[in-house]
Amino acid sequence: MDMIGIAIKITILIAYAIIGTCTGLLFMGIGRKIVARVHNRVGPPFYQNFIDVAKLLSKKTNISHGWIFDLALLFSISGILLTLLFLPIGGVQLLSTDGDAFLVLYLLAIPSLGFALGAGASGNPNAGVGVMRALVMMLSYELPFVITLIALMIYYDTTSLATIVRMQSINGIKSWAITMPPFMIAAFAADMALQGMLMEQPFDIPVAPHEIASGPMVEFGGKYLGSLMLYKAIALVAETTLFVDLFLGGGVVAHGNFAFVINFIVWLALIFLLFALSILIAASFPRFRIEQAFGFYWKYEAIIAAISLIWVYIMVIK
Amino acid sequence: MGLHNGDKMMRYEEWSKLARKASKRSLWMVHFCTGCGAIEMPPVMTSRYDMERFGIAPMATPRQADVLLITGYLTVKTLRRVIQVYEQMQSPKYVIAFGSCTINGGMYWDSYNTIKHLEKYIPVDLYIAGCMPRPEGIINAFLELMKLIDEGKARGWERYQKYYDKYKENQRRVFNFEVKEEEKEEKEQKREKNEEH
Amino acid sequence: MLDIIFAELVVAAIITFFVREKLAAIIAFFISLLPLLALLDWASNYGFAIINLGIENHMKIYLAGVTLHLAITPLSWFFALMILPLFPVIMLYSYSFFKENDGFFALMLLSLFATFGILLSRDMLSLFLFWEMMSWSSFLLVYRSKDKNAIMSYLIFSVFAAFAILFGIIILWHENSSLLLSDILNISGKLGFVAIASIITGFAVKAVIMPLHAWAPFVYSKCDEPFVAFLSGGLSKLGYYGIFLFLFSLKGVDILQNYMTNVSWNYLLAVFGALSAFFATLIAILQDDLRKLLAYSSIGQLGYIAIGFGIGTPLAITGALFQAFNHAFFKAILFLAAGIVAYRTGKWKISELGGLAYKMPFTFMATLFAIFALAAIPITSGFASKWLLYEAAIQQKYVFIAPIMLIAGVGAFLYSFRILYGVFLGENRHDSVEEAPKSMIAALFILVLPLIIFVVFPGYMLDLMKPALQAAGIESIAHTKFAIETSLAKYNSIAVLITLMVAMIPAFVIYKARKHRVTSFEDNYLAGEPYELHKPAMHAANNYYKPLKKVLLPYLEPGATYYFEKIYNGIKCVSNAVRRIYTGYVQDYAIYVVLFLLFVMGWLIWI
């Protein structure tokens, strides 16, 4: 019996990984379509990104710069899959029954660090500059994000994502964190942080194609670039899911036997809405300079997040 | 290819047909914009003609790209860069050459410094005639290239590997006054090593 | 047994001073294993369960009318486990590091002697004596750097620390009439507060908590790397050992709290720790000197321990001790690796190095692993300790400290990558460099081992520190072999590791599915420019975080060092003014004598 249970769990895990990848690629395609419509273009078909990945993975020549360069491929895909599997998706968390928000934050760093290593190993100066920008961006957007995260943790008195989701799903939509005034503010700050996490405009500074020739990816081609696209697709799902788990109750609206189907659909709709929002912002804003982005996050966003944290602290102390 | 087993060969062919299908719908290009043709690219990319609907997207570096667009005439100096970019691309890779300058020198037919027949130095898969070609012509050329890829006829990169010596010799004849003898040999060895695949 | 070890250490220190460098290294290596053997012996005799040895089991030394008490305690056992293994490793590393024997090994053995003594001392007098011995032996090691800033700052701060500790000890002795650490402190009110506060301040100098850190960047960046590895890995932990001893084992917290009930003294320590973690991290990001960067990173990482002690809950203290253990190892690896880089290339500036990873793959791998631990990536034990501290801050609802800790954790990525990219990746500028000697590589990989063991079994670490916590009356937190459980959440290391390995499978399939060829560094995309033509500079490590520097520097500029320099200059001014009375003329001195006599006479008459 136990073996069967494990087998089922592994099957579901694989299914989740595949669904996560496919959803990410699909969203990226739809995102391109949305941007095209904003530009008054026709845009590529929604399945364009599947074709792109297939093409990249079937390239005949693949150029590497040594074994450290290859670490990028290995670490990025495995790290981001790991993160995805530790997140509650539609209220269901498969691994680590009491998974932890700090753990997820640090797991998210594994693929980025892997890619940074690969980019650095290529020896291209553009890659070095790109990674520098990516890391400074990370330092920038993490401050407001971390403050909002702590506000949530203090309010719910837990650091476990699963518990946060559970406590928000008691009364369906009414108990979502975003319905409370302090968390509305926090959600705004976190959404801006999400924009930076997704590296969409105005925060696509690290991969600026015309300034630094797409930054860290400058030497990536073939299977390496393909794995980067897969990583980006899964990261998109993982990061939006993190936001949904924190503020939108993980998309949990129903309880019962087959509730997970409804929850899953709601989760999908919510992450799509988040992604569409970030794409719309991206399509209508030009790029910041890195100092401007840093100032934006550490001055305005951090103050907004801090207001929500103080508000929550006063609520909790009472 | 090195596969002698018939079955395996078949499967490889089938697979490569699939790969070609994916490849033709997702042509990422790097454009070498020193010629006058560069001015025709923005309309092709933006809302008037919108090449992204065919899955064609501009890329920042040759490592990521499949198509090299040469938009107009090349001088001796720029040819060298073109070759560098072309060799850094990862096969399968295709070359589209713009305008009459690349075919026969065009209006620079008697210049001492321009390249008249691009085909001599790198394998061109497709030419777009005209001075300059209209954006419709460029879109048309991409569609034509897709057809060629689908039929397995766009084999410029294989040609380049096969006749590598000939191409190198032609290139060397142009660069002769630039490259010293030793450097040349060194470079040759390196390239040969690189292109063994 | 202890007296034999002490005697052997001293004898070996004397012998190593006179023999040739390789022989000295070998002797020092074997001798420095002895204290570890003593630990094993103690563990086999008493096990981990014993709380404290009674006074009858102490080793007593009668010295000029006073008795020094030496015995091992659970707390010192735990700290010995993290500090003492550094010594043989450093000796192994130094086997090929030094070109000639100029007393390094002898002084290191003396430091070991003193360290061992500090950990074993059971009364305040011997603690102070050994502390001073350690300060002086390490001062002599600092003196070898021949750098005026380093020597002076280390001397002044050490003396200050020693006075602060002595001051506190004297008050405690006067009020308590006992120097034994096994007695409960029977002191309260203002005196108790002053005593404990001054002792903590004294230890905080060695523990490099932020306002008292000013000596560290100078010393860490100028001394021999093997010694700095001990200084950052071991000596700073002795500072925290002292803080733990007086705050928790001797219940100094209560004394502080009883005196002023409206101020949370704990919280103050945590705030100082958080400030060191935050500012030191930001300063480390902007450093170009590899050693300075590591020095500031040390200050930042040690700040976390102070935060843990400051928060003071069982969870936080467990996290702090775990962090101390990890830091001892990963920071030693980083300093030793920096030493290897300098040994092979002779350069310290990150912007002048580059591309060493393919030349020194093993050094690179050890460094990478240490950096994973430093940045708390969950594939090393560095994560568990930081996680415990974060949990503790959230549990106590410390809304100021928690975000600062987390953002300092992110900042660690920035300076770690500066090391990785600037030194090991990017353009290779050192064609003739080869891998470090085998003994150095072995030293690095021995230090990596604990980081691997305790990520698979974080529970074992909690088992190890359990007796120390119990002896201080702190309950240990719930855990199994693989998982740690707190009231807020649970961390299961084995789940993370296994999932990572399983997730590696698809990545590996993609990696293996298509062949790749490895190209040379010269074949890089430079906007079509052939590399051979102009050989442009390819390393982007010069002034790496320039945009960040532009934003941050105005806020960081007048640092603590600036104020210490002001104080120093002030004292210098006063001293110069005082020196003017020595004019060199006999008449002036005669007037002084007359004035003095007049003063004495007037005083006598007044009485």
- In a mutagenesis test of the B interface, which of C518, C524, C531, C532 is the best target, namely the one with the most B β-carbons within 10 Å? C532
| Contact B8/C at CB under 8 A | no
Task: Dump pLDDT digits (tens) for C195-208.
Answer: 888 888 888 888 88
Q: Note whether B63 contacts C525, CB cutoff 8 Å.
A: yes
* Of A282, A135, A287, A130, the residue nearest A213 (C-alpha): A130
**Residues in chain B whose Cβ is within 8 Å of chain A:** 15, 18-19, 22-23, 25-26, 28, 46-47, 50, 52-55, 58-61, 63-64, 66, 88-92, 197
Q: Note whether B63 contacts A209, CB cutoff 8 Å.
A: no
- In a mutagenesis test of the A interface, which of C394, C423, C521 is the best target, namely the one with the most A β-carbons within 10 Å? C394
Residues of C in contact with A17 (CB under 8 A): 503, 506
DSSP strand pairing (B28-32 vs B67-70): parallel
Average the pLDDT over C54-60 and give the result: 67
Task: Dump pLDDT digits (tens) for B158-182.
Answer: 888 888 888 888 888 777 655 555 5
pLDDT value at residue A317: 81
Phi, psi of C554, rounded to the nearest 5 degrees:
-55, -30
Domain-located, residue B8: no
Task: Dump pLDDT digits (tens) for B112-160.
Answer: 888 888 888 888 888 888 887 888 888 898 899 988 888 877 788 888 8
Residue B178: Cβ within 10 Å count: 13
Alpha helices (H) in chain B, listed in sequence order: 6-24, 41-45, 76-88, 99-104, 135-151, 156-162, 164-175, 181-194
Task: Dump pLDDT digits (tens) for C246-275.
Answer: 888 777 777 777 777 777 777 888 888 898
Average the pLDDT over C312-337 and give the result: 90
pLDDT value at residue A240: 92
Q: CA-to-CA distance for C339 and C221, rounded, in angstroms?
A: 11
Q: CA-to-CA distance for B31 and B38, rounded, in angstroms?
A: 8
Q: Note whether A214 contacts B60, CB cutoff 8 Å.
A: yes
Structure tokens of C5?
A: 């070890």
Residues of A in contact with B91 (CB under 8 A): 59-61
Burial of A2 (0-12, 13-18, 19+ CB in 10 A): exposed
A63, A128, A146 ranked by CB distance to C403: nearest: A146
Average the pLDDT over C168-179 and give the result: 81
| Contact B187/C at CB under 8 A | yes
Residues of B in contact with C514 (CB under 8 A): none
Three-class SS of A8-53 = HHHHHHHHHHHHHHHHHHHHHHHHHHHHHHHCCCCCCCCCHHHHHH
Residues of A in contact with B68 (CB under 8 A): none
Task: Dump pLDDT digits (tens) for A230-265.
Answer: 999 999 999 998 898 888 887 777 777 777 788 888
Q: From the CA of C310, how many Å to the nearest CA of chain A?
A: 19
| Contact B85/C at CB under 8 A | yes
Query: Is the per-residue pLDDT at B2 higher than 50?
Result: no
Residue with tokens 């939509």: A173
Q: Angle at Cα A249 formed by Cα A244 and Cα A251, nearest 5°?
A: 70
Tally of structural domains, chain B: 1
C517, C529, C530 ranked by CB distance to B197: nearest: C517
Burial C95-126 (b: 16+ CB within 10 A, else e): bbbbeebebbbbbbbbbbbbbbbbbbbbbbbb
pLDDT value at residue A147: 92
Q: Note whether C357 contacts A121, CB cutoff 8 Å.
A: yes
Q: CA-to-CA distance for C577 and B8, rounded, in angstroms?
A: 94
Residues of B in contact with C532 (CB under 8 A): 183, 187
In angstroms, the Cα distances linking A83 to A99, A102, A264, C180, C419 are 11, 11, 18, 52, 26
| Contact A292/B at CB under 8 A | no
Lowest mean pLDDT among A153-162, A214-223, B7-16, C302-311: B7-16
Structure tokens of A192?
A: 């801006």
| Contact B189/C at CB under 8 A | no
Is C108 within 8 Å of C230 (Cβ atoms)?
yes
Could you tell me which chain A residue has the CA closest to the CA of C425? A121
Chains touching chain A through at least 3 C-beta pairs below 8 angstroms are: B, C
pLDDT value at residue A148: 92
C506, C524, C548 ranked by CB distance to A81: nearest: C506
Q: CA-to-CA distance for C260 and C253, rounded, in angstroms?
A: 11
B22, B50, B59 ranked by CB distance to A42: nearest: B50
| Contact A295/B at CB under 8 A | no
Instruction: Read off the pLDDT band of C49 (50, 70, 90).
Output: low
Average the pLDDT over C129-148 and give the result: 86
Residues of C in contact with B68 (CB under 8 A): none
The answer to pTM > 0.90 is: no
Q: Where in chain C are the domains?
A: 2-500, 558-606
Q: Note whether A150 contacts C514, CB cutoff 8 Å.
A: no
DSSP strand pairing (C59-63 vs C66-70): antiparallel
Is C223 within 8 Å of C154 (Cβ atoms)?
no
Chains touching chain C through at least 3 C-beta pairs below 8 angstroms are: A, B
**Per-residue pLDDT of chain A in tens (318 residues, 90 and over written 9):** 577 878 887 888 888 888 889 999 999 999 999 999 888 888 898 899 999 998 888 888 888 888 888 888 888 889 998 888 888 887 677 665 566 888 888 888 888 888 888 888 888 888 888 888 999 999 999 999 999 999 988 888 888 888 888 888 887 778 888 888 888 888 989 998 999 888 888 888 888 777 788 888 888 888 888 888 999 999 999 999 889 888 888 777 777 777 778 888 888 899 899 999 999 999 888 888 888 888 889 889 899 999 999 999 998 887
- In a mutagenesis test of the A interface, which of B1, B15, B17, B25 is the best target, namely the one with the most A β-carbons within 10 Å? B25
Average the pLDDT over C563-581 and give the result: 80
Residue with tokens 């088992």: C463
**CATH number of the domain where residue B69 is located:** 3.40.50.12280
C519, C520, C530 ranked by CB distance to B84: nearest: C530
Task: Dump pLDDT digits (tens) for A101-153.
Answer: 888 888 888 888 888 888 888 888 888 888 889 999 999 999 999 999 999 88
Beta strands in C143-236 (DSSP E): none
Task: Dump pLDDT digits (tens) for C9-43.
Answer: 777 777 777 777 778 788 878 888 888 887 777 77
| Contact B191/C at CB under 8 A | no
Query: Is the per-residue pLDDT at C100 higher than 80?
Result: no
Could you tell me which chain C residue has the CA closest to the CA of A18? C506
pLDDT value at residue A277: 92
The residue among B89 and C186 whose pLDDT is bigger is B89
Domain-located, residue B135: yes
Reported as type and span, the H/E element at residue C306 is helix C290-311
pLDDT value at residue A275: 92
The domain of B76 spans 23-194
Cα dihedral value A272, A273, A276, A278, nearest 10: -110
Q: Note whether B61 contacts A39, CB cutoff 8 Å.
A: no
Q: From the CA of A109, how many Å to the nearest CA of chain C?
A: 7
Chains touching chain B through at least 3 C-beta pairs below 8 angstroms are: A, C
Q: CA-to-CA distance for C288 and C291, rounded, in angstroms?
A: 9
A110, A135, A136 ranked by CB distance to C377: nearest: A110
Lowest mean pLDDT among A263-277, C115-129, C177-191, C497-511: C177-191
Q: CA-to-CA distance for B44 and B25, rounded, in angstroms?
A: 17
Q: Note whether B190 contacts C520, CB cutoff 8 Å.
A: yes
Q: Note whether B91 contacts A61, CB cutoff 8 Å.
A: yes
